[in-house]
């Protein structure tokens, strides 16, 4: 998708499940984001080469490379430290959450989730001054 308005907030949704990706994209769009989509790690990296989104919503269970690898890419040489990262996973053990935090995720949302829960997380991320992980630990509950 070619970005049409450089002044709006851009969100990248990285999800291999078409239905869930569409639901997340629609919700973010209704919140005022211009949404771009990716189905796996490589298509996400290609999108990130074209723009620097304000928000990335990525599942940890991706084909080929994991969402953890995507976080490492975002926080590594690409240097997108100001991009807010919400990771989503069916696996929500403390070790999964700790690993997500370690690689740079700002928040962790357990699947399945409701659209109202997604909105709650995204709003909390946007309202935090820096998207700091310490401010967002309460979202794990």
Please report whether residue 82 resides in a domain: yes
The single-letter DSSP state of residue 33 is: P
Write out the residue range of the structural domain in which residue 62 sits.
10-140
pLDDT at residue 50 greater than cutoff 70: yes
Please report whether residue 3 resides in a domain: no
Name the pTM for this structure.
0.86
3-state secondary structure of 90: coil
CA distance 2 to 41: 19
Digit-coded pLDDT (tens) for 23-44:
999 999 999 999 999 999 999 9
Please report whether residue 4 resides in a domain: no
Please report whether residue 5 resides in a domain: no
Q: What's the confidence (pLDDT) of residue 1?
A: 38
Cβ atoms < 10 Å from Cβ of 27? 19
Here the CATH number for the domain that contains residue 133 is 3.40.50.2300
Please report whether residue 80 resides in a domain: yes
Going 81 to 121 to 50 to 29, the CA torsion angle's sign is: negative
Q: What's the total number of domains in the chain?
A: 1
């Amino acid at each position: 998708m070619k970005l049409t308005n450089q002044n709006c907030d851009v969100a990248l949704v990285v999800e291999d499940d078409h239905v869930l990706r569409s639901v997340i994209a629609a919700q973010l769009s209704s919140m005022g984001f211009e949404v771009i989509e990716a189905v796996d790690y490589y298509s996400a990296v290609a999108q990130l080469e074209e723009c620097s989104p304000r928000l990335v919503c990525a599942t940890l269970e991706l084909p080929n490379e994991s969402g953890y690898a995507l976080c490492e890419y975002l926080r590594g040489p690409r240097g997108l430290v100001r991009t807010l990262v919400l990771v989503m996973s069916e696996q929500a053990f403390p070790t999964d959450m700790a690993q997500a935090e370690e690689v740079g995720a700002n928040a962790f949302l357990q699947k399945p989730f409701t659209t109202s829960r997604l909105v709650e997380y995204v709003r909390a991320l946007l309202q935090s001054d820096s998207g700091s992980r310490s401010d967002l630990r309460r979202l794990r509950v």
